Amino acid sequence: MKSTELNLIPFFVAVYEEESMSKAAQRLGVSQPAVSKALKRLREIYDDPLFHRSPVGVTPTSFAGDIYPALSTAFKNFSSTLSASRSFDLRCQSASSPSPV
């Protein structure tokens, strides 16, 4: 598998799952041009169009279907690791906070 910039993975996963650039942008809380720019970079990395546009949204290419499981799993694992880390940080902060007297 080619090297992918980690910050691009959520864009790919959102477009794949939403089947729409605008819905993916809304889900990610970014503009539609930001999604287009991220997909352009992914197309360059993978040398594949990744999605075909249609009047009702986008459909993944067969290559996009092949890489989706790995990228989706990587994204979910990364997200849960960050969530666990934040939770741990909050517990450490509250444990080290001085008790009110």
27-71 pLDDT, tens per residue? 999 999 999 999 999 999 999 999 999 999 999 999 999 999 999
Residue 101 lies in a domain: no
- Separation in Å, CA 69 to CA 13, 33, 64, 76: 9, 25, 9, 11
Residue 99 lies in a domain: no
Higher pLDDT, 72 or 93: 72
pTM of the model: 0.77
Residue 58 lies in a domain: yes
Q: Which amino acid is at 36?
A: S
- Spatial distance between the Cα atoms of 50 and 65, rounded to a whole number of angstroms: 9
Residue 75 lies in a domain: yes
User: What CATH number is given to the structural domain containing 68?
Assistant: 1.10.10.10
Tracing tokens 């799993």 back to the chain, one arrives at 73
Q: Band the pLDDT of 7: cuts 50, 70, 90.
A: very high
- pLDDT-above-90 percentage for the chain: 66
Domain carrying residue 33: 6-93
